[in-house]
């Protein structure tokens, strides 16, 4: 009597190959996504989302119509006109430019501080 197992029944050989494990994980993730994408549940949820979006569109259209016909709309329109005039005069673009420059400088300073926290490597890593 032979103690050898047929090839199909041999347990998988365990290795410490990280790349192989990532590849296997990637295949499993791909298979899971494919299974989920083609599932009945996904199609049902998609139909519910589509119906919900149609209802949302209808409600927003109704609300927009009500707003256009209200007194508040006239006030908003006047404010929009004022903003347009400010933009045309260059005031807004100057404020925006200053804000962007300030933000970029702050980001640069934060990156400098972060870089200072790292310990430099004495020698380049071996390939």
What is the residue whose two structure tokens read 């870089």?
115
28-37, 39-48, 78-87: range with lowest mean pLDDT: 78-87
Are the C-beta atoms of 73 and 67 separated by less than 8 Å? Answer: yes
In a domain, 26, yes or no: yes
Q: What is the mean pLDDT of residues 115-123?
A: 75
**pLDDT tens for each residue of 47-68:** 999 999 999 999 999 988 887 7
In a domain, 119, yes or no: no
Q: What is the mean pLDDT of residues 94-107?
A: 87
Q: What is the pLDDT of residue 52?
A: 94
What is the residue whose two structure tokens read 């400010």?
86
Strands (E), 1-127: none
In a domain, 33, yes or no: yes
- When divided into structural domains, the chain yields a total of 1
In a domain, 3, yes or no: no
In a domain, 25, yes or no: yes
In a domain, 57, yes or no: yes
In a domain, 63, yes or no: yes
Q: Is the pLDDT of residue 6 over 80?
A: no
pLDDT confidence band for 73 (50 / 70 / 90): confident
Q: Is 118 exposed, middle or buried (0-12, 13-18, 19+ CB in 10 A)?
A: exposed
61, 65, 73, 92 from 84: Cα distances, Å: 25, 23, 16, 9
Structural domain that includes position 63: 21-69
In a domain, 91, yes or no: no
Are the C-beta atoms of 86 and 92 separated by less than 8 Å? Answer: yes
């Amino acid at each position: 009597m032979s103690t050898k197992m047929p090839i199909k029944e041999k347990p998988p050989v365990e290795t410490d190959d990280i790349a192989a494990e990532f590849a296997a994980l990637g295949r499993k993730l791909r298979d899971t996504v494919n299974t989920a994408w083609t599932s009945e549940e996904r199609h049902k949820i998609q139909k519910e989302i589509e119906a919900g979006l149609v209802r949302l569109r209808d409600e927003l259209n109704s609300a927009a119509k009500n707003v256009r016909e209200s007194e508040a709309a006239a006030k908003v329109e006047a404010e929009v006109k004022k903003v347009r005039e400010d933009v045309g005069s260059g005031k807004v673009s100057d404020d925006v430019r200053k804000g962007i420059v300030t933000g970029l400088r702050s980001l640069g300073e934060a990156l400098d501080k972060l870089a200072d926290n790292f310990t430099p490597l004495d020698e380049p890593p071996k390939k």
